[in-house]
Amino acid sequence: MLKSPHLLGIKDLDAESIDLIVKTAKEFKEVLNRPIKKVPSLRDVTIANVFFENSTRTRLSFELAEKRLSADTINFSASGSSVKKGETLLDTVNNILAMKVDMIVMRHASPGAPHYLSKHIKANIINAGDGTHEHPTQALLDTFSLREKLGDLASKKIAIIGDILHSRVALSNIYALKKQGAQVRLCGPSTLIPKHIQSLGVEVSHDVKETLAWCDAANVLRIQLERQQIKYFPSLREYAQFFGITRKMLDELPKEIVLMHPGPINRGVELSSDAADSPHSIILDQVENGVAIRMAVLYLLASRA
């Protein structure tokens, strides 16, 4: 059983909780590969998907996970809602809870929004991404996918390459990997690496080829132009030239590595198409594992009630 009634971030989880979620997800993945993919685990549980930011994979993954567990779901999108009329976050959620909702899956542009809500409402909260802060279920599905390929992650070398500064995926992955004993290296332009990030126990590099030769797995992040208020590098073409990963670079490595990406991919920028579709890539495995991980999180939080 999880120690907290919420999943707000990986920072709050211990290694045992990560192990429990991954182990539970492994069982649910077997369910997803059966002819009948539904189990009655969350029958009579009502879950609200409350998204104040755009999402495709995460939202669909959570919705599918909820349906596979036989939960009742309602979907809320900020566009076209009373939020546009000035309603506060707390009022919006309390109105949803008044309809007898048991669990909230929430994405919000403000870092810490799920943490704020958890102090004011009784329902379980799952953070589906809060600004540039954390994205815990993405880090958990990345952990699950890496363990399938590499086994125990202790002492494994994992590189996170790209826009670290604006990425909630990067921070959650750093926490998850360090708790499992992995070595973590960040790689990208110096303008996209946060100051003092080494205090989290990670290495920093600005050389992609050397980083790829060092690592067992590379998690490549997209450039988040929608979060950038100023220019952090001259052009996407120049970024691709210095930090983009191609199939040729992967084929020239002394060993085979695992290539990951949380999506959406900007093909031709951080990854060439032939790299993204290469045998090194487990990007579609990550998407499949995302449903199983979210089923595990929903099930374990509901079991606390």
Q: Could you list the residues known to form a binding site for L-aspartate, using ranges.
A: 85, 168, 222
Is the previous residue joined to 264 through a cis bond, with omega within 30 degrees of 0? yes
The answer for residues whose C-beta is within 8 angstroms of residue 173's C-beta and 6 or more apart is 10, 138, 139, 142, 158, 160, 184, 219
3-state helix, strand, coil in the chain (%, to 5): 45, 15, 40
- Judging by DSSP bridges, how do beta strands 72-77 and 46-51 pair with one another? parallel
Q: Is the dihedral of CA 164, 170, 171, 177 positive or negative?
A: negative
The DSSP code sequence of 88-108 is -HHHHHHHHHTTT--EEEEEE
> Which amino acid appears at position 219 of this protein?
N
- Judging by DSSP bridges, how do beta strands 46-51 and 103-108 pair with one another? parallel
List binding-site positions for carbamoyl phosphate. Answer: 57-58, 107, 135, 138, 263-264
List binding-site positions. Answer: 57-58, 85, 107, 135, 138, 168, 222, 263-264
**Alpha-carbon distance values, 123 to 49, 62, 66, 200, 301 (Å):** 13, 17, 16, 31, 10
Residue listed under structure tokens 């590189």: 159
Residue listed under structure tokens 């685990």: 41
141 in Cβ contact with 22 (< 8 Å): no
Residue listed under structure tokens 């900020």: 78
Helix ranges (DSSP H) in 119-167: 136-150
State the Cα–Cα distance between residues 79 and 83, nearest whole angstrom.
8
- Structure-block tokens of residue 299: 């099930």
